[in-house]
Amino acid sequence: MYKTRCLLFVLMFLVPAMVSYAQDVAIQDSSNQVLMDAAVEIMTNAGTCAFITVDDEGRPRVRAMDPFLPTDELIVWFGSNPLSRKIKQIRNNPRVSLYYLDSDQTGYVMIHGLATLVDDDKSKVKWWKEKWNDFYPEYPNNYILIKVEPVWMEVISTRLGVTGDEKTWTPPSIKF
């Protein structure tokens, strides 16, 4: 009877716990590149993203932005008007969030990062889009760059097979 109870305990509690732990370890070890690849694909296909700053009263401020494609390290660059509210908000609080919706609306990428303002001519030439000529008639004088370095990222994409926890819906994430 004791052996039966022990076997039952092992089958009911320990085996599922070990399987769950093994799955978590496998996901952590193997999925960072999968998540990075999925993120780059979603970010590339999305075209635009939501750029979120925090205002003086602690409220989130969201606006659509036309980002450059992410670098290999998932650094994202943006161009902006140096007199815009977002620039003041970044100077006051460099913590920002980016939200990209997959073009087929079956997934997203959310990045929490630190924004740095870059105002040198060499970088402005590198990070420039000709289609912006009408928005910045005094370029490069009325143009500033925002460099967002990721701190944390989460990704969901049913199309790419990247899904969250079945019970909690917690998405897979990476800390940088």
User: Is pLDDT of 14 > 90?
Assistant: no
| pLDDT tens-digit readout, 29-39 | 467 999 999 99
Mean pLDDT of 112-137: 97
Helix (H) or strand (E) holding 90: helix 85-92
Mean pLDDT of 36-44: 97
| pLDDT tens-digit readout, 46-71 | 999 999 999 999 999 999 999 999 99
Instruction: Please give the pLDDT value at position 31.
Output: 76
The amino acid sitting at 142 is N
How far is residue 156's CA from residue 17's CA, in Å, rounded to a whole number?
Answer: 25
Instruction: Please give the pLDDT value at position 1.
Output: 53
User: Is pLDDT of 13 > 60?
Assistant: no
Cis bond upstream, residue 94 (ω within 30): no
Domains of the chain listed by start with CATH number? 31-175 (2.30.110.10)
How far is residue 146's CA from residue 80's CA, in Å, rounded to a whole number?
Answer: 7
Task: Please name which of 149, 128, 150 lies closest in space to residue 139, comparing C-alpha atoms.
Answer: 128
DSSP structure string for 106-119: SEEEEEEEEEEEE-
How far is residue 111's CA from residue 174's CA, in Å, rounded to a whole number?
Answer: 10
Which residues in 47-138 belong to E strands, given as ranges?
49-54, 60-65, 76-80, 95-101, 107-118
